[in-house]
Amino acid sequence: MGSKGTFQITDWQETVEQEFEKGKKFSTALVQQAYSGDINGNSEVRYQLYYSESGDALFNGFETITYDKSDEQVVLTLKHDGKFESGIASSKFTIVDSSHECSLIGNSGTFRSIEGGKAIYQIS
């Protein structure tokens, strides 16, 4: 596939599920994103996050990206394993489902956040 580009977070709704001593906590987030570059579309992500006392976090979750390709709507489902460290969010992800191209299943990628709620993504 070899896709790359950026995405912009358009909405982030986070709920604290459990709080611990020294500011540690579990939370869930429902996130909307707009993709541009090789993929032009929108996504919805559901993250589970664990915050340490430093404010850094580990997260995992599933994302569905919807975009048009050759006049057909394509839906990709990604499984994320990421971290938020020193103000930078990054994730390694795997495509676990594709509505049109089964050959994409198992492909992996990464994202790394940049300024202004944006991130750079790459899928191999």
pLDDT in tens, 57-88: 999 999 999 999 888 999 999 999 999 999 99
pLDDT score for 118 = 97
Structure tokens at 91: 């994730």
pLDDT score for 71 = 87
Amino acid found at 58: L
69 by DSSP, 3-state: which?
A: strand
Please give the model's pTM, rounded to 2 decimal places.
Answer: 0.94
Quickly tell me which residue has 């990464």 as its tokens: 110
Q: Which of 48, 10, 44 is nearest to 28 (CA)?
A: 48
